[in-house]
Amino acid sequence: MLKYIGKRLLLMIPVLLGVALVVFTLMYITPGDPAKIILGESATEEAIEALREEMGLNDPFLVRFGSYVGDILFHFDFGNSYQTGRSVLQDLLERFPATVQLAVLSGVVSVIFGVFFGIISAVKQYSVFDNLASALGLVGVAMPNFWLGMMLVLIFSVKLRWLPASGTYGPEYWILPAITLGLISAASIMRTTRSSMLEVIRQDYIVTARAKGQSEWVIITVHALKNAMIPILTIVGIQFGQLLGGSVLVETVFSIPGIGRYMIDAIKARDYPIVQGGVLFLSACFSFVNLGVDVLYSLADPRMKSMFTVKKGPKKGREAA
């Protein structure tokens, strides 16, 4: 187990380097001059050029990228904001709890609705409920989360005045953002749960359990759901990682002071270190979530423990005899 985890951690390094290269390249070719944005339109060309030289913006691409990666690897330094001069890593860590809280609440909503409706759809295959749930699942997969958030604000905040529209001043402020992200993710979880359950409930051991007089509740929750958990865990892990990154627009819609809103403001201001650091930070979180899901496989299905063990070759010589 520890060897497998160590190998996965080492494999994260080239993945994160690739992400850093892509993001750094996109920021490099993006139109706009950070020095001019910082000093304003009234600044002289001499002042702008001096600031560009001070910030290292005149250096070649490979020199800037090598310096950026070196600071991260050897000093764990994501750079400083062009606007405030504060450490990007410090700002990310301060805003990370709000993003995690939103992702966790949304994940709970998505798992409850997705797994429940997926099980019912599989058990009641081709029924009216199954057809309706499948249609809603397709709509949920295609629906933009920021559009759903704005519709919920118009209905529950503007029209009905039941819930606040923005902010994080109490538990009631998290309801609409969690539902917005959770319902979108629930659609994918529901479709995967339905497919996985349909494969399991047709197995011989399910027929045997029914023949032995087991209640339908025990058959579905204990026998069927437990053996269908591997695909469900996979999609839940993927969706949770996407919730961390997908909260960018939702945090902006609901004015949540998380990493997503922080990055949106940085994009508007051409604050490249924040954008690069935010994407790299969220990519690392996504990689750790995937690693955690792989470890959970062994808990859900003991047969999956073989993926964590190192296979030994046959013994040679006298030992083989």
Residue 68 pLDDT exceeds 80:
yes
| Burial of residue 136, with CB atoms counted within 10 A of its CB: 0-12 exposed, 13-18 middle, 19 or more buried | middle
Model confidence over 246-271: pLDDT tens digits?
677 888 888 888 888 888 888 877 78
Helices marked H in the chain:
2-29, 34-39, 45-55, 61-75, 88-123, 128-142, 145-152, 175-200, 204-211, 216-218, 225-227, 229-253, 259-268, 272-300, 317-320
What percent of the chain has pLDDT above 70? 92
**Average pLDDT estimate for 4-28:** 85
Strand partners, 87: 80
Instruction: Please give the model's pTM, rounded to 2 decimal places.
Output: 0.80
